[in-house]
């Protein structure tokens, strides 16, 4: 099952069901491998809804982005792409109407900006925190909360992939 990104930025991710070990030997110790219950073949896969800022969200968003184009080369961030990505995130965050589409249309190099944002996601939570601090330093103001930065990155990547 693939990860699904909802319009509100939440992600529906597949979850591995827990295995149960019900059998015990004469001493009361569990018997490994006995009666391991697998989910029925016709059972729907278990899922979990992740919100921006929740544990595992950044990693799931990076995986979702990779699913959109599995043949994509490894992510490479350039200085120019990162600068434009920082301006883009700041513009979306400070826009009264949260105008992602118009901010993306104004990019000089959408591909480089997208690669820079993907590079941030691949780095995980600390990378997103550092990026938010860089945006605040470059553009002024306080750093965005990590979950807000991640949500904006997801919205921008979704817009770039359309």
Q: Is the distance from CB of 88 to CB of 104 less than 8 angstroms?
A: yes
Residue 137 has pLDDT above 90, yes or no: yes
Q: Mind listing the pLDDT tens digit for each residue in 123-135?
A: 888 899 999 999 9
The torsion region of residue 16 among left (phi > 0), alpha (psi -120 to 50) and beta comes to beta
pTM equals: 0.67
Tell me the pairing of strands 11-15 and 46-50. antiparallel
- Whose tokens are 């969200």? That residue is 57
Q: Mind listing the pLDDT tens digit for each residue in 70-101?
A: 887 777 778 888 999 999 999 999 988 888 98
- Higher pLDDT: 21 or 2? It is 2
β-strand partners of 153: none
pLDDT at 38: 56
Residue 112 has pLDDT above 70, yes or no: yes
* Cα(22)–Cα(39) distance, integer angstroms: 15
Cα–Cα distances in Å, from 43 out to 74, 127, 136?
A: 35, 37, 47
93 membership: H or E segment, kind and range: helix 79-94
- Higher pLDDT: 143 or 42? It is 143
Both tokens of 141, joined, read 């103001």
Q: Is the distance from CB of 11 to CB of 50 less than 8 angstroms?
A: yes
């Amino acid at each position: 099952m693939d990860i699904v990104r909802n319009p509100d930025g939440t992600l529906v991710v597949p979850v591995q069901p827990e295995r149960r070990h019900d059998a015990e030997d004469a001493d009361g110790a569990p018997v490994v491998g006995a009666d391991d219950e697998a989910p029925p073949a016709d059972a729907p896969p278990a899922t979990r809804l992740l919100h921006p800022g929740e544990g595992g969200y950044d990693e799931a968003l990076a995986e979702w982005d990779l699913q959109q184009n599995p043949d994509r080369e490894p992510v490479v961030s350039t200085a120019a792409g990162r600068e434009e990505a920082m301006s883009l995130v700041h513009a979306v965050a400070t826009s009264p109407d949260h105008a992602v589409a118009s901010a993306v249309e104004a990019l000089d190099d959408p591909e480089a900006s997208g690669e820079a944002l993907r590079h941030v996601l691949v780095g995980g939570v600390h990378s997103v925190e550092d990026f938010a601090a860089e945006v605040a330093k470059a553009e002024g103001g306080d750093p965005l909360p990590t979950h807000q930065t991640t949500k904006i990155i997801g919205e921008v990547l979704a817009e770039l992939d359309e």
